[in-house]
């Protein structure tokens, strides 16, 4: 019978040291309940950097005529929390991530924030095990569909700009972002809330403030879309 770990490695398509794989799957809620064992946050920090480098270089090479601003928007759409969570779901990462009882009962295995963080930790583990080139191949294989769509994502290329434009049309004024950070410097977690006309319209989380704000802007943009559709 194939072990769950073997099934996950087969889905990833790259062997990862068993101990590093377990670490990459260890959410802080599980680590806390297990007596303070190491979490996947350091691997996530490393994987976020690997992901950013690979995606930035791929966009630079694939779109030689695009200006920096367009490339930055395409990168933001590609590495967004929601985009990474969609990839994580294709690997069924939620079936393997180690969660505490509270997170398990609250549906943590399908939360965008946990899935995207775990995927980044997998990228970090792949880099430590094999170096940059095999890790690059893994990242490109998994994110390539999103990269191919990036030029046609419309509003999703820069949710903050799109939200600002839609809010102006609706007379809600300029979006205001309220951000909070928790955790040590090497594993900081950001939560951003978008305020429009004094009300909260979207919340996002991420390992970087800019990612949290982009995800919050997307949530707010979609909330405004639903309001417009009902009116």
Task: Say if residue 80 is in the same domain as residue 137.
Answer: yes
Task: Single out the catalytic residue among 48, 103, 158, 218.
Answer: 48
Q: Is 70 part of the annotated catalytic residue set?
A: no
Per-residue pLDDT at 149:
76
Task: Single out the catalytic residue among 44, 103, 112, 120.
Answer: 120
Task: Say if residue 147 is in the same domain as residue 171.
Answer: no
Task: Say if residue 16 is in the same domain as residue 97.
Answer: yes
Per-residue pLDDT at 25:
96
Kindly indicate the confidence band of residue 1, based on its pLDDT and cuts at 50, 70 and 90.
Answer: very low
pLDDT tens digit sequence for 155-209: 556 788 888 888 999 999 999 999 999 877 766 788 999 999 999 999 998 777 8
Task: Say if residue 99 is in the same domain as residue 184.
Answer: no
pTM beyond 0.85, yes or no: no
Q: Which of 152, 184, 215 is the last residue of a domain?
A: 152
* Candidate from 28-32, 62-66, 133-137, 205-209 with smallest mean pLDDT: 205-209
Q: Is 229 part of the annotated catalytic residue set?
A: no
Task: Say if residue 87 is in the same domain as residue 22.
Answer: yes
Task: Say if residue 168 is in the same domain as residue 146.
Answer: no
Task: Say if residue 22 is in the same domain as residue 75.
Answer: yes
Q: Which of 152, 184, 205 is the last residue of a domain?
A: 152
Per-residue pLDDT at 211:
79
Structural domain of residue 220, as residue ranges? 159-230
Q: Which of 152, 177, 201 is the last residue of a domain?
A: 152
Q: DSSP letters of the chain?
A: ---HHHHHHHHHTS---HHHHHHHTB-HHHHHHTTS---SHHHHHHHHHHHHHHHHHHHHHH-TTS-HHHHHHHHHHHTSHHHHHHHHHHTTGGGT-B--HHHHHTTGGG-HHHHHHHHHHHHHHHHHHH-HHHHHHHHHHHHHHHHHHGGG-GGGG-HHHHHHHHHHHTT----EEEEEEES-GGG-EEEEEEEETTEEEEEEEESSHHHHHHHHHHHHHHHHHHHHHH-
Task: Say if residue 113 is in the same domain as residue 201.
Answer: no
Domains in the chain, number: 2
Task: Say if residue 46 is in the same domain as residue 62.
Answer: yes
């Amino acid at each position: 019978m194939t072990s769950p770990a073997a099934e996950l490695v087969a889905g990833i398509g790259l062997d990862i040291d068993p101990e590093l794989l377990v670490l990459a799957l260890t959410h802080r809620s599980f680590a806390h309940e297990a007596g303070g064992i190491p979490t996947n946050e350091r691997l996530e920090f490393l994987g976020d950097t690997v992901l950013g480098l690979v995606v930035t270089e791929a966009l630079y090479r694939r779109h030689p005529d695009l200006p920096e601003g367009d490339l930055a928007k395409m990168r933001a759409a590609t590495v967004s929390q929601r985009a990474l969570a969609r990839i994580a779901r294709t690997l069924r990462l939620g079936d393997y991530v180690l969660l505490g009882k509270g997170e398990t009962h609250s549906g943590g295995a399908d939360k965008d924030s946990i899935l995207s963080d775990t995927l980044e930790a997998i990228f970090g583990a792949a880099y430590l095990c094999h170096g940059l080139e095999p890790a690059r191949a893994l990242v490109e294989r998994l994110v390539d569909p999103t990269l191919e769509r990036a030029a046609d994502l419309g509003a999703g290329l820069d949710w903050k700009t799109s939200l600002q434009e839609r809010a102006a049309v609706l007379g809600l004024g300029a979006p205001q972002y309220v951000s909070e950070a928790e955790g040590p410097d090497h594993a900081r977690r950001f939560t951003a809330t978008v305020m429009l006309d004094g009300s909260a319209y979207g919340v996002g989380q991420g390992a970087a403030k800019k990612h949290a704000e982009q995800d919050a802007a997307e949530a707010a943009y979609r909330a405004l879309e639903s309001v417009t559709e009902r009116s």
